[in-house]
Chains A and B, each alone.
Chain A
Amino acid sequence: MSRVFRWCTEHWVMGVALLVLGYLLLPIVVVAALSFNRPSSRLSYDFNEFTLDNWRNPCATSDMCDAVLRSVQIGFLATVAATALGTLVAFALARHRFRGRSGLNVLVFLPMATPELAMGTSLLALFVAGGVPLGFWTIVVAHVMFCLSFVVVTVKARLTGMDRRLEEAAMDLYASEWQTFRRITLPLVSPGIVAAALLAFSLSFDDFIITNFNSGTTVTFPMYVWGAAQRGIPPQVNVVGTAMFLTALLLVFATSVGGRRSRRAAEPGPRP
């Protein structure tokens, strides 16, 4: 009895944790299941009948695929711009002392502490006051804005965690500044930059609130789902949801295996 009791006191935290994980993962299981569903009516959310049709014809409702494609385009443009601008800012913040540095820190921090609702409506107010037509490019501009801070934070964390002595060693060995940057600094920071870019893309692809205010008549994938929720959701939405999940999972798995391999290769000492 006391052994059972002791086992319980030692493992109840893990038990609770697994239950909470179940709560977090349940909707994904439901999305995957619903991607194989033939719904009884357009407005039904219940599982009705197993089918492979949704996976065979993901573009049966063509405006959904257009929306996915548009989200990918916007995500790509926003990621490239935000990663480039954010990386430069991160280098400045991590490596240089200059006037206005603390002010810049606040400017980078504020978009992350502001509710999306306020940023979306602010931009809308500005665009309307300036007579800017809403659409594809206003969405891109908005996405670059809110992804930028996350890129700065991610790359800066990588830069401050880096061993400066490696660069000093390179300079001591007569590498020029440019060589040091290209052969030492850049390879060491690049995992941070890649992580920032992936984060920016996923933030942009999944953004609804800011996009909703600044899209005009342009429809991204989240906008499409929002509109469809009122008219009835095509089951193909769940196919896209499941495919997104699997792609991201694959990416995480690949980067962690790749990271482990390169770490092992970098380890000193004799190898079998």
Chain B
Amino acid sequence: MTALTQLPSGTERSSPRARWGRRRLLPYLLVLPGAAWLVLFFAMPVGQLAAASLYDPTGSISTGYAPAWAFGNYPAALRVYWPQFGRSFRYAGMALAVALVMGYPLAYAIARKAGRWKNLLLVCVIAPMFTSFLVRTLAWKTILSDNGALVGLLRDVHLLGPDGRLLATPIAVVLGLTYNFLPFLVLPLYASLERLDPRLLEAASDLYASPLATFRRVTLPLSMPGLVAGTLLFLIPATGDYINAELLGTPNEYMIGNVIDSAFLIRLDYPQGAALSFLLMSAILALVFGYLRRASPEDLL
């Protein structure tokens, strides 16, 4: 706020020309520290990640890596970890499908049916984020546990075999992803359904549209901006997540995040980790910008 406070103090005395100069300078002064931070600690690191992904893979963290243009790191890493890479997108996509089935009715009910309970229900949607992500994910371990009520019930109704389980299966990981990122989908969807003019729905039914036709031809197209924003806000963290795979799954459910984590922190294979990480980032950003060409970025923010 310092730049703001300095500005007007001298305005009475200074000449119009000096005032004009300071006015023009002001936005740059305001922006400088924040932009510098983002350049130093966001843009530069991404550049360093790209450089690290091209390091000579024969080096090691103790002897040092020789900078090189080893583009071979990319196909080499993908050959080994293609299953995990594909799994990340598959699980995130499956979780998104479940989240849409759950989240759309929820957002719709809060926006159009809740009346005076609207704010309370909204607080309930964000309430999970009030407590720690990891602690909540561990709670799923209790809910899905082999001795738990849920597994017992599913075994009794023969949806699960007598020694069937939920924990340590792909189902647990997908359910965990759905749970953790559902609010990010619901909130933008709610915002765009809330803006929907109810007279349009009345008009549709006055014109003999069935409820289904009204939904398909009026509600759904008008909620598209929220749907796009929510989908992105869901997919970005879900694809890169590895906490659910680690805590609720087994190595058979490992996603690309587990591989990148171990490449950087356990195996210390920086070129490989950097190549996978850069690849994930490019894939996600391509997805985001592909989507955004259909909707304006303002809807995302």
0/1 per residue, A102-119, Cβ < 8 Å to B?
A: 001101111111111111
B contact residues around A30 at 8 Å (CB): 139, 142-143
B contact residues around A23 at 8 Å (CB): 102, 179
- Give the A interface residue count (CB, 8 A): 92
Query: Contacts A141-B41, A148-B38 hold; do A27 and B28 have CB atoms under 8 A apart?
Result: no
B contact residues around A112 at 8 Å (CB): 300
Q: Determine if A126 and B48 form an interchain contact, defined as CB atoms under 8 angstroms apart.
A: yes
The main secondary structure of chain B at its interface with chain A is helix
Report Cα–Cα, A27/B260, bound state, in Å.
Answer: 28
Asked if A200 lies at the interface with its beta carbon under 8 angstroms from chain B, I say: no
Asked if B90 lies at the interface with its beta carbon under 8 angstroms from chain A, I say: no
Report Cα–Cα, A21/B114, bound state, in Å.
Answer: 13
Interface residues of B in 168-212 (CB under 8 A from A): 179, 182-183, 211
Q: Determine if B48 and A122 form an interchain contact, defined as CB atoms under 8 angstroms apart.
A: yes
Return the contact of B264 from the options A145, A213, A233 (Cβ within 8 A).
A213
Return the contact of A125 from the options B27, B48, B142, B301 (Cβ within 8 A).
B48
Counting chain A CB atoms within 10 Å of each CB, which of B51, B138, B284, B297 scores highest?
B138
Q: Determine if B109 and A13 form an interchain contact, defined as CB atoms under 8 angstroms apart.
A: yes
Asked if B16 lies at the interface with its beta carbon under 8 angstroms from chain A, I say: no
- Give the B interface residue count (CB, 8 A): 96
Report Cα–Cα, A152/B31, bound state, in Å.
Answer: 11
Q: Determine if B1 and A225 form an interchain contact, defined as CB atoms under 8 angstroms apart.
A: no
Q: Please choose the segment from A53-61, A176-184, A262-270 that sits at the chain B interface, where 4 or more of its residues have CB less than 8 A away.
A: A176-184
Q: Please choose the segment from B70-78, B155-163, B271-279 that sits at the chain A interface, where 4 or more of its residues have CB less than 8 A away.
A: B271-279
Counting chain A CB atoms within 10 Å of each CB, which of B51, B241, B257, B301 scores highest?
B301
Report Cα–Cα, A86/B33, bound state, in Å.
Answer: 9
Q: Determine if A14 and B239 form an interchain contact, defined as CB atoms under 8 angstroms apart.
A: no
Asked if A73 lies at the interface with its beta carbon under 8 angstroms from chain B, I say: no
Q: Determine if A115 and B131 form an interchain contact, defined as CB atoms under 8 angstroms apart.
A: no
A contact residues around B125 at 8 Å (CB): 21, 24
B contact residues around A128 at 8 Å (CB): 61, 270
Asked if B245 lies at the interface with its beta carbon under 8 angstroms from chain A, I say: no
CB distance from B113 to the nearest CB of A (A): 5
CB distance from B125 to the nearest CB of A (A): 7
Q: Determine if B119 and A256 form an interchain contact, defined as CB atoms under 8 angstroms apart.
A: yes
B contact residues around A123 at 8 Å (CB): 41, 45
Report Cα–Cα, A92/B285, bound state, in Å.
Answer: 26
Asked if B222 lies at the interface with its beta carbon under 8 angstroms from chain A, I say: no
A contact residues around B124 at 8 Å (CB): 21, 24-25
0/1 per residue, B105-139, Cβ < 8 Å to A?
A: 11011100110000101011101111111111111
**Contact sample, A vs B, 11 pairs, CB 8 Å cutoff:** A23-B102, A88-B30, A92-B26, A98-B28, A110-B285, A121-B49, A121-B260, A126-B49, A177-B11, A221-B132, A237-B135
Binding site for B on A (CB under 8 A): 9, 13-14, 16-17, 20-21, 23-28, 30-31, 34, 45-47, 84-89, 91-93, 95-98, 104-105, 107-119, 121-126, 128-129, 141-142, 144-145, 148-149, 152-153, 156-157, 176-178, 181, 202, 206, 208-209, 212-213, 221-222, 225-226, 229, 233, 237-238, 240-242, 244-245, 248-249, 252, 256
7 A-B pairs closest in CB distance: A115-B240, A122-B45, A17-B109, A248-B130, A177-B8, A118-B281, A96-B27
